[in-house]
Structure 1
């Protein structure tokens, strides 16, 4: 069901470690020509192109692309009581965690009368994408919207594909989650075309262009983000979900297997990796996978994901090597289930989100932890982070010098500007001191 990679007795280099577990083949570059054409078509033909793309990719167009705010209000009223209670709880936790991400202004006095103020300004308007497909994601509405709101974004547009099962409208749970958060600008449109519509606007829908596009999606959504980047900001190019579990002999094989399956059910391309220094745990997890997969609802999807080259049980000599394997892989989700998880955590640098201890599963982060579940995939956790309030903020430096402070550095400015053959720079300073 799942391959075994035995690293015992070996000390692979970081490059060799990175190549050990193959990720699912998701070539964003290959999708760019198609995505670029879909974006261009929407930019040129607006709603006509969006309707045609809905017929082609979503099984039918929405009656109206822009959702009537009354329909959003009605969707909130129809939310099942347990779902509404869960949404209220996750919104509260996500707001609390997002507030901690907003940096405070800082003032640095570099000399008497010379100050640099660092402040963080929100973008004016964002477009948030909520995928459809194999599952429905009201939780992703929260994970997108709340950080933007906490950052201070004043205008939010939300897009999600029309669903055949709901009269070619947006899934009611997504509409309800948007309404709970006070978002009333919602569009039934999906895929690369939706990214183009958000980035460049559609006048006939009164859809104004946004400054940042964020949210997960398929390979064509990721490619469309790359196409529009530069005209707008983007969060990241999300790929298939992935989890890496570092576990030792103290871990519960039943729990480890359940966590691997929980990520494998996302998609046939999802990655589930266990790294352990305990061969007996590896054997027990393999047996548990066989047992648990037989009864899981998404059995066929899980089997394909676990049998793929992107999933593996990796045997290592010690937990230090396990941490090296994890850092080379840079997983979207990292779980640490060891007798001393803190010692392993101290060795970790690269992961989208880290779940420490047996009672901190990725499922908690997907919904109720307060952390954000829109995270870097495909190894990009080496240099990227997930969605947060900072995604929608820009640092600005405000410079304030008085006359004496400027006079004190005028000769340095003259020296530098003359050396760079830009003497007018120095002249602009000298003009303030005609004496």
Structure 2
């Protein structure tokens, strides 16, 4: 068995549509299962959380929250050094995204925008084998820079205790509390609030299908704000014969390593290069067998190498795919990048694997999946800021513009009060 190699053009809809239509994760089954959990947490609070944690995690909680600043940690200095370096780079990148309020005179009136942060945030961090402490950096840092005051980390409890790395990160990032409840019940606790857990206005971070379903459902009800709806991890690579096939194969496998539902799509114009990448994938399965079945399922079932007639066609399909991660490894990287319209994050050149953005370079790795980058952006400072528009109208401008307001309000049938609210100010003084 090997990765599918497809010869396509823009008219190959029967072959290409499967990558476009299969991109979205079906959460209908998970949503049906989590609805009773959400309702139980909403109505019974901490008691329901303790019951579900015992049922799903086999752990009896005495408390559903933890103060990270009350715990002594003894983390390996080398691990600290790595995360502190990542923290610095992520902070520097996101500091550049800060917004300043502004005002401008338009038609004699002062108009503007005031940026205000959301008041509270929960950052979800999966537990067990899917532990992603780097996602804590990605969720908390831009929120802190935006000015969010109340931030809590949400993570499932562990029988051997919470991972020390999560406690230490909470300390250095200034997280207010750790909510030691996972799954849909943890999301519900932060969305509704309980006796012990303050309600959050916004929830971000990766999780399993039940976490994703809970976030999407509650966001759809207007109860919380979320990062973009999440699906399986994905990478698209645009590469020509100048790229290193071994490196490209490794980059594809780095996405397959996330899960068997992950996808890795290589777009190229060179058949020989496509074959070389396929061969390198097979070699890697022999040389690096860790998570072998997972990686093979991802590569054989959800991934492909697609050979197009031209680089322009590769760019066209990448924009159709709107991938979470896009790598560009060609002789003309900047020219290709200039034509990219939709991607969560772009990695330019042979020395820019996705793993650099996942951990250390400074960009955010919480990204839209399932073609979401057509309408969503990566998590950033803007995610946690609200635009409050304001205006200060002068008496002279009000009098000058009233005739237009009169006509427009009459046209919409709202002249009795809308129109009058302006008119009386032209006829009377304070």
TM over 0.5: yes
Alignment of 1:182-197 (within 5 A): 182-197=174-189
Contact 2:4 2:303 in 1 (8 A): no
Partner of 1:433: helix, strand, or coil? Answer: helix
2:127 corresponds in structure 1 to 132
Contact 1:162 1:171 in 2 (8 A): no
1:256 corresponds in structure 2 to 248
Deviation at 1:369, TM superposition (A): 1.2
Gaps of 5+ in 2: none
Q: Does 1:215 align with 2:213?
A: no
Deviation at 1:22, TM superposition (A): 6.2
Q: Structure 1 residues 334 and 25, CA, compared in 2 at 3 Å: closer, same or farther? A: closer
Equivalent of residue 314 in structure 2, options 304, 322, 327: 322
1:143 corresponds in structure 2 to 138
Alignment of 1:5-404 (within 5 A): 5-8=5-8, 10-12=9-11, 17-20=16-19, 23=22, 26-71=25-70, 73-75=71-73, 78-112=74-108, 114-164=109-159, 166=160, 169-203=161-195, 205=196, 207-229=197-219, 230-296=222-288, 297-308=290-301, 310-404=302-396
Aligned equivalents of 1:115, 1:18: Cα separation in 2: 50
Deviation at 1:246, TM superposition (A): 0.8
Deviation at 1:35, TM superposition (A): 1.8
Residue correspondences, number: 424
Equivalent of residue 429 in structure 1, options 413, 422, 427: 422
Contact 1:202 1:208 in 2 (8 A): yes
Deviation at 1:15, TM superposition (A): 9.2
Contact 2:236 2:323 in 1 (8 A): yes
Deviation at 1:328, TM superposition (A): 1.1
Contact 1:242 1:271 in 2 (8 A): yes
Aligned equivalents of 2:228, 2:92: Cα separation in 1: 23
Contact 1:160 1:189 in 2 (8 A): yes
Aligned equivalents of 1:364, 1:162: Cα separation in 2: 29
Partner of 2:105: helix, strand, or coil? Answer: strand
- Aligned CA RMSD, in angstroms, stands at 1.9
Contact 1:2 1:311 in 2 (8 A): no
1:351-410 deviation digits (Å, cap 9, x = unpaired)? 110000001110000001110001011111111112111111111111111111111111
Contact 1:218 1:239 in 2 (8 A): no
Gaps of 5+ in 1: none
Deviation at 1:21, TM superposition (A): 6.1
Aligned equivalents of 1:39, 1:372: Cα separation in 2: 29
After TM superposition, the structure 1 stretch with the greater mean CA deviation from structure 2, 140-149 or 416-425, is 416-425
Partner of 1:285: helix, strand, or coil? Answer: helix
After TM superposition, the structure 1 stretch with the greater mean CA deviation from structure 2, 246-255 or 39-48, is 39-48
Aligned equivalents of 2:335, 2:254: Cα separation in 1: 26
Deviation at 1:13, TM superposition (A): 7.1
Contact 1:127 1:214 in 2 (8 A): yes
Aligned equivalents of 1:331, 1:212: Cα separation in 2: 24
Aligned equivalents of 1:28, 1:353: Cα separation in 2: 25
Deviation at 1:20, TM superposition (A): 4.3
Contact 2:239 2:329 in 1 (8 A): yes
Contact 2:357 2:363 in 1 (8 A): yes
Aligned equivalents of 1:36, 1:378: Cα separation in 2: 23
Contact 1:17 1:329 in 2 (8 A): no
Contact 1:3 1:311 in 2 (8 A): yes
Aligned equivalents of 1:131, 1:342: Cα separation in 2: 36
Contact 2:124 2:155 in 1 (8 A): yes
Q: Structure 1 residues 301 and 20, CA, compared in 2 at 3 Å: closer, same or farther? A: closer
Aligned equivalents of 2:300, 2:12: Cα separation in 1: 26
Partner of 1:250: helix, strand, or coil? Answer: coil
